[in-house]
Amino acid sequence: MNCEEFSLPLKTPLSTAGGDIRERRGFAVRIGGGVGEATPLPGWTESVEECREALSGIEDPDAALATLDDRPAARHAVSLALADGAARERAVPLSRHLGGDEDLTGTVAVNATVGDGSPEGSAAAAREAVESGFRTVKCKVGARSVESDLKRIRAVREAVGPGPAIRVDANGGWSREEAEHALDGLAEFDIALVEQPLSADDIAGHRELPRRIPLALDESLAGHTPDEIEGVADVADVFVLKPMALGGVDRVVEVGSRLRAEGVGVVVTTTIDAVIARTGAIHAAAALGIERACGLATADLLAADLAPDPAPVRAGTVAVPRGPGLGTDGPWTGGGADA
C-alpha cells in the first residue's frame, strides 16, 4: 500500500462553528491498481494525526476494513482504493461495481450552496446559480435570528421564482423553540427540505418536530454504523450521507439502499474533499440512482486539487465518469511514502 500526504488550500477560508477552515489535509492511497483518499475533518471523522497513524499500521488492506470503524476517513481511503482496483479489473465504472444499474442516467444533479450573507447578497447568489443551470439552491441558516433568516429566504425565493427547489441548512443551530418558529415561517416559501435544524445529539427533538416541511439529518449521522443509522430511519424524511464520515462509498451505498427500502430519501454530499473522494461520491450517488440534487459541487472551494476533475459541474449536473473504476488516476508522481 502506498500513501502520499497532501495539503490543499481553499480559495477563501470557510467559517464554521469550530473555526475557519483554510486548507484540506489528507492522504492519497494506492493499493494495486486502485486509488483512494482520506481527507479527515474533525467533528465528522478522526484527526489527520489519527488517520495517519491508522493508515501507517495497515498490512492487509482487506482485513483492515473491519478494524477501522472509529477511523472513518482511513477506512474511506482503503475501501475506495480496493473498490476502484476491483472495478478497473472488471473494466466497469465504479458506480456499476457498487451495484448501480448500467441503464441508469449518466448524470447526477447537484445543488448550489448560498452562504450566510445579507438578503440582497443571498438573493443575487441564488439568482446567479439558477441562471447558470442549478435547479436546487441550499441556503445556510441558523447563525442569525430566525427572523433574519426568514427575511433572507423570502428574498431568495423572490429572486429565483417558483420553479427552483430551495433547501435550508441550519447545521444544528436552532433550539427546539426556534426550529418550530422557523418551520412555521418557512412554510410559505415552498421549501424542499430543512437540514439538521437541531443539534446532532437531539434525536428525540428531531423526531418530535412537526413535519411542516420535509426534514433531513446530516450531522446526527456522524460516527454511526449502518445498523445505527437504520435504527433512526423514522426520524427524518431525508438522510444526508457523507462517504468520508461514514467510512466509504461502500457504506454509503449500503446505508442508502437500506433507507430507500424503508421509504426514506437520501442525498450524497462531500466534506470538501479532493478529486478522488469527490469522484467516488459521484459514483455512489449514481449507484443509488438518486434523483434529488446532491451536495457534490464543491470543487470550486479548493484553490488546487490532486488531479484534473473527470466530472466537472455543468448546468447543475455532473456526468458520471464512464471509464473503468473512478475515472481518475489520482496525484501519483511515484514519490509517495509507503504506509
Which amino acid is located at 84 in the chain? D
- Helix H or strand E segment including 226: helix 226-230
Sign of CA dihedral 272, 275, 279, 280: negative
Rounded to an integer, what distance in angstroms lies between the CA atom of residue 156 and that of residue 88? Answer: 44
- Take residue 137 and report the three cell numbers written for it: 439552491
What are the binding residues?
Answer: 169, 195, 218
DSSP state of 187: G
Which amino acid is located at 166 in the chain? I
- Take residue 42 and report the three cell numbers written for it: 474533525
Q: Which residues are marked as active site?
A: 140, 242
What are the binding residues for Mg(2+)?
Answer: 169, 195, 218
Place of cell 431525508: 238
Beta-strand runs (E) in 98-176: 107-109, 112-114, 136-140, 165-169
Give the number of other CB atoms < 10 A from CB of residue 262: 9
Torsion of CA 140, 144, 145, 149, to 10 degrees: -30
Query: Which residue in 305, 300, 294 sits closest to 328, CA to CA?
Result: 305
- Take residue 242 and report the three cell numbers written for it: 457523507
Rounded to an integer, what distance in angstroms lies between the CA atom of residue 175 and that of residue 99? Answer: 40
Say if CB 244 and CB 273 are below 8 A apart. Answer: yes
